[in-house]
Amino acid sequence: MEKESPDRRIQRTRKVLHAALIELILEKGFDKVTVQDVIQRANVGRSTFYSHYKDIEDLFLSGFENLWSLFEQHLTGQSVEKAGVWDLSLVVFQHAQSYTGVYRALVGKQGGNLMSTHMHKYLSALMRETLKDQWDASKQVPLEIVVHHLASSLIALLTWWVEHDLPYPPERMNAIFQQLTQPAIESMLA
Amino acid sequence: MEKESPDRRIQRTRKVLHAALIELILEKGFDKVTVQDVIQRANVGRSTFYSHYKDIEDLFLSGFENLWSLFEQHLTGQSVEKAGVWDLSLVVFQHAQSYTGVYRALVGKQGGNLMSTHMHKYLSALMRETLKDQWDASKQVPLEIVVHHLASSLIALLTWWVEHDLPYPPERMNAIFQQLTQPAIESMLA
Amino acid sequence: MEKESPDRRIQRTRKVLHAALIELILEKGFDKVTVQDVIQRANVGRSTFYSHYKDIEDLFLSGFENLWSLFEQHLTGQSVEKAGVWDLSLVVFQHAQSYTGVYRALVGKQGGNLMSTHMHKYLSALMRETLKDQWDASKQVPLEIVVHHLASSLIALLTWWVEHDLPYPPERMNAIFQQLTQPAIESMLA
Amino acid sequence: MEKESPDRRIQRTRKVLHAALIELILEKGFDKVTVQDVIQRANVGRSTFYSHYKDIEDLFLSGFENLWSLFEQHLTGQSVEKAGVWDLSLVVFQHAQSYTGVYRALVGKQGGNLMSTHMHKYLSALMRETLKDQWDASKQVPLEIVVHHLASSLIALLTWWVEHDLPYPPERMNAIFQQLTQPAIESMLA
DNA sequence: TCCTAAGCGAGACGGTACGTCTTGTCTTCCA
DNA sequence: TGGAAGACAAGACGTACCGTCTCGCTTAGGA
């Protein structure tokens, strides 16, 4: 018996494509990976690839979405509802540690800066939520800029951390992030 | 008179190549620009291109080096010898305003994040110089990370500014940068 | 119905490539024909060309092989088993008349002397077969030279004929070939 | 002293170009030799080449013309005025032996069949002169064809001889040529 | 004796073709 | 019926030559 339902085959195909992509990014960086490479490594037909994804960037982003939804589960799963910016960032560092391999492939130079763009978008949204009630238009620095700054800083720090092979534990990294950003925020809120 | 020495021809060729590249990046982003496009726009032979530059990235970086050397002239030309981090950043914003067109092409998404990498490298070096004497190993946050953070933040802010069509004057941007980063640095030095 | 199997597509592609090559050779001579020309005329992708043939010479020779295998069918189809040199040459002239267009492209200057080389090789082999039993080592002229001479003469005559637009019928040409070559052979065999 | 007149410089340049071409043809065959190769080997500037010759074929033919004028001196120098076809052919074989190196480069495959075409033209003209008085229109084989045949045969034999490293002396080769062609001519003249 | 014109090397240049590589589309075949 | 297989048109890649075009250097033969 042991038949395989169509859906399961589809899931399987997507999984091997993602896995192949991660492998190849780690080997030579996202920019150098071609569709050719991926389908060969994944042992998948050319047309099969294109029936699932528009192009290689689409595959990449789909992988990132998966990762992000795991991150969101991690987030709601373990912290109190109304978390602050630095609760959020802690989860980011912890999550990155849990999935070191994947992060190494996606973050920074290897990931072709593609992930940074998307992660920035999602992170900004979350951070805006945590800050928007404490902020009013009279502040000297627009909320938009502050959020942009915090997201960028977190990603920059994360990238540094991953590319240096996680030399400190997540909690230490988060403490650093806090030391680097909190004083400015506090003084503005004062 | 008006003869053209070999050297001048070479300079001319490089100039039209740079100009063509900038134009094309502004039109469709660095990642979409091909060598084909550039030589066609610049009216330059294919082999001529390759006799000057290894590939399109090489052309891009050569353009960036030009820009950076202008920046360095700007820097030494107008500030006192021992400038601080926020004197430096002010010059960055001013320089970007002077060359809005070029910066628009090179910075951020349009520039394919290529410039960010190199600018980060150069900025970090300059910033490390201004900070290294005030820092000692006992600090909670390593100098390396602080410098990485400052350079990343400045570039992120610069990118935001340019991509939003310079909504504030350079001085205002630098004040914002200072408000976002100085408190943390001060409290660490205290 | 009217489905097209992969194999049929391949055959079709090769056919249009051959046809395009013949056309172009007739227009400007083999030496001037580029791969670019051929694929443009045949409406075929560049890489498709190279997936079928190593280079333009390969395409040319593949066309020649086709022609030669037709010739061999013609040969065994209509003559008695043990044909002599001048039975063979008659078939050559007849075959050239049947495929005037192709021969015009391949033979002589237009064909870049490429076909001559290969045709010489094949013709020599056939002629050696018809002569080798009647020859012995004591002859004043080595068999190798005689065969070389006969093949060269036949090709030269054929070239002249085709380049002068077939002014005589094949039988007349063969009679001429016989008058030019047979007396010497006879006198040697005597 | 030893000044060099302009004319002598020109002669010298042409000579080194010819020499370089011959060397290169012997090394890799005419078809593979580029202008680039020649000027590099001859240590001559690119524009200098083009001020002397239209292209590489022009250089080749100029070399052939030199050789041919040597041949004509050889011809008138040593034979009686009204020579027959086989006196002519003997001189051809002798001349080839005297200039083995050059012939090896020009004749046959190495020479890209270019020389054959021109030599055929010149030889035909000479042979037509020796035969035209003995021929009348009533002959079964047109003079034009006979001449074409004789010239082609001689060149084919010469090519064979040179490409096989001159295994026989010139006189023997000429005797063979005579045996292969004379009987037919005699029987036609009878 | 100067100087002017020519021969030359060097090599930048716009162009064209090469043979390779990758893309995204499409069709057939098999399980 | 979905996926593997792979042919295909399209077009960019980096390389190799082409033939044209300056440019300076050298060196002669006439002023």
Token pair in block for residue C179: 């008058």
pLDDT digits (tens, 9 = 90+) for A115-124: 899 999 999 9
- The protein residue nearest E8 (Cα–C1') is D48
Q: What is the mean pLDDT of chain D?
A: 92
Question: Is the pLDDT higher at C4 or at A61?
Answer: A61
Fold exhibited by the domain C60-189: Tetracycline Repressor; domain 2 (1.10.357)
Q: How close A156 gets to chain B, by Cα (Å)? A: 6
The pLDDT value given to residue A108: 83
pLDDT of B6 > 50? The answer is yes
**pLDDT-based confidence at D79, cuts 50/70/90?**
low
The pLDDT value given to residue C2: 40
The pLDDT value given to residue C186: 92
Low-confidence ranges of chain A (pLDDT < 70): 1-7, 78-82
In chain C, the residue whose alpha carbon lies closest to the alpha carbon of D111 is: C113
**pLDDT-based confidence at B80, cuts 50/70/90?**
low
pLDDT of D2 > 70? The answer is no
Judged by CB atoms closer than 8 Å, whether chains meet at B157 and A145 is answered as yes
pLDDT digits (tens, 9 = 90+) for C48-74: 999 999 999 999 999 999 999 999 998
pLDDT of D1 > 60? The answer is no
**pLDDT-based confidence at C173, cuts 50/70/90?**
very high
Average pLDDT of the residues in C29-57: 97
pLDDT of C7 > 80? The answer is no
Of the partner residues B117, B153, B187, the one whose CB lies closest to the CB of residue A149? B153
Judged by CB atoms closer than 8 Å, whether chains meet at A179 and B149 is answered as no
pLDDT of C189 > 90? The answer is no
Average pLDDT of the residues in D158-173: 97
Task: Report the candidate in C74, C80, C78 with the shortest Cα–Cα distance to residue C92.
Answer: C74
From the CA of A17 to the C1' of E26: give the distance in Å: 22
In chain B, the residue whose alpha carbon lies closest to the alpha carbon of A141 is: B176
Q: How close B48 gets to chain A, by Cα (Å)? A: 26
Cβ of D162 under 8 Å from any chain C Cβ?
A: no
To probe the interface with B, which of A109, A152, A188 has the most B CB atoms within 10 Å? Answer: A152
Least confident of B42-46, C28-32, C77-81, D32-36: C77-81
Examine chains C and D and say if they touch (3+ CB pairs below 8 A): yes
The pLDDT value given to residue B5: 66
What does the alpha-carbon distance between residue D49 and residue D13 come to, in Å, rounded to a whole number? Answer: 9
Cβ of D180 under 8 Å from any chain C Cβ?
A: yes
CB pairs under 8 A between C and D: 70
From the CA of C103 to the C1' of E22: give the distance in Å: 39
Task: Report the candidate in B93, B47, B52 with the shortest Cα–Cα distance to residue B74.
Answer: B93
- The protein residue nearest F5 (Cα–C1') is A45
Examine chains B and D and say if they touch (3+ CB pairs below 8 A): no
Name every chain D residue with its beta carbon within 8 A of the beta carbon of C156: 148-149, 152-153, 156
pLDDT of B7 > 90? The answer is no
pLDDT of C178 > 90? The answer is yes
CB proximity C13–strand F (7 Å threshold)? yes
**pLDDT-based confidence at D108, cuts 50/70/90?**
confident
In chain B, the residue whose alpha carbon lies closest to the alpha carbon of A139 is: B176
Examine chains B and A and say if they touch (3+ CB pairs below 8 A): yes
pLDDT digits (tens, 9 = 90+) for D20-69: 999 999 999 999 999 999 999 999 999 999 999 999 999 999 999 999 99
The pLDDT value given to residue A85: 93
Cβ of A189 under 8 Å from any chain B Cβ?
A: no
Average pLDDT of the residues in C73-100: 87
Judged by CB atoms closer than 8 Å, whether chains meet at A160 and B141 is answered as no
Q: Check residue C107 and report its DSSP letter.
A: S
The pLDDT value given to residue A78: 67
Least confident of A9-18, C79-88, D100-109, D153-162: C79-88
- The protein residue nearest F9 (Cα–C1') is C45
Judged by CB atoms closer than 8 Å, whether chains meet at C141 and D176 is answered as yes
Name every chain D residue with its beta carbon within 8 A of the beta carbon of C180: 141, 145-146, 149, 184
Q: Is the pTM of this model over 0.95?
A: no
**pLDDT-based confidence at C3, cuts 50/70/90?**
very low
Angle in degrees, 0-180, between the axes of helices C56-78 and C85-98, rounded to the nearest 10: 120
Name every chain B residue with its beta carbon within 8 A of the beta carbon of A148: 156-157, 160
- The protein residue nearest E6 (Cα–C1') is D6
Q: How close C36 gets to chain D, by Cα (Å)? A: 19
- Rounded percentage of chain C residues whose pLDDT exceeds 90: 78
CB proximity A188–strand F (7 Å threshold)? no
Least confident of A113-122, C121-130, D6-15, D72-81: D72-81
CB proximity A35–strand F (7 Å threshold)? no
> Neighbouring chains of D at 3+ CB pairs within 8 Å?
C
**pLDDT-based confidence at D18, cuts 50/70/90?**
very high
Cβ-defined contacts of B85-92 (< 8 Å, 24+): B85/B127, B85/B130, B85/B131, B85/B150, B85/B181, B85/B185, B86/B174, B86/B177, B86/B178, B86/B182, B88/B123, B88/B126, B88/B127, B88/B130, B89/B154, B89/B174, B89/B177, B89/B178, B90/B170, B90/B171, B90/B174, B92/B123, B92/B154, B92/B158
Contacts of D46 (CB under 8 A, 6+ apart): D35, D39
Q: Show which positions of strand E are touched by protein (CB under 7 A).
A: 6-29
The pLDDT value given to residue B137: 72
Give yes or no for a contact between A145 and B160, defined as CB atoms under 8 angstroms apart.
yes
The pLDDT value given to residue C81: 57
pLDDT digits (tens, 9 = 90+) for B40-53: 999 999 999 999 99
CB proximity D8–strand F (7 Å threshold)? no
What does the alpha-carbon distance between residue A51 and residue B24 come to, in Å, rounded to a whole number? Answer: 32
Of the partner residues D145, D175, D187, the one whose CB lies closest to the CB of residue C176? D145
Average pLDDT of the residues in B93-118: 92
What does the alpha-carbon distance between residue A65 and residue C137 come to, in Å, rounded to a whole number? Answer: 85
Cβ of C180 under 8 Å from any chain D Cβ?
A: yes
Of all nucleotides, the one whose C1′ comes closest to residue A37's CA is E22
- The protein residue nearest E5 (Cα–C1') is D6
Stretch 140-159 of chain D: residues touching chain C, C-beta under 8 Å: 140-141, 145-146, 148-149, 152-153, 156-157
CATH of domain B56-189: 1.10.357
**pLDDT-based confidence at C82, cuts 50/70/90?**
low
**SS3 per residue for chain D:** CCCCCHHHHHHHHHHHHHHHHHHHHHHHCHHHCCHHHHHHHHCCCHHHHHHHCCCHHHHHHHHHHHHHHHHHHHHHHHCCCCCCHHHHHHHHHHHHHHCHHHHHHHCCCCCCCHHHHHHHHHHHHHHHHHHCCCCCCCCCCCHHHHHHHHHHHHHHHHHHHHHCCCCCCHHHHHHHHHHHHHHHHHHHHC
- The protein residue nearest F1 (Cα–C1') is A6
pLDDT digits (tens, 9 = 90+) for C96-139: 999 999 999 999 888 888 899 999 999 999 999 999 888 887 77
- Rounded percentage of chain B residues whose pLDDT exceeds 70: 94
To probe the interface with B, which of A153, A158, A182 has the most B CB atoms within 10 Å? Answer: A153
What does the alpha-carbon distance between residue D126 and residue D85 come to, in Å, rounded to a whole number? Answer: 9
Judged by CB atoms closer than 8 Å, whether chains meet at A184 and B180 is answered as yes
Q: What is the mean pLDDT of chain C?
A: 92
Judged by CB atoms closer than 8 Å, whether chains meet at A182 and B184 is answered as yes
pLDDT of D124 > 60? The answer is yes
For chain A, give every domain's residue range. 60-189
Cβ of B176 under 8 Å from any chain A Cβ?
A: yes
Q: What is the mean pLDDT of chain B?
A: 92
The pLDDT value given to residue D3: 47
The pLDDT value given to residue B3: 47
| CATH class of the domain at D6-189 | mainly alpha
Name every chain A residue with its beta carbon within 8 A of the beta carbon of B140: 175-176, 179
Q: Is the dihedral of CA C35, C38, C44, C49 positive or negative?
A: negative
Cβ of B47 under 8 Å from any chain A Cβ?
A: no
- Strand, helix or coil for residue C67: helix
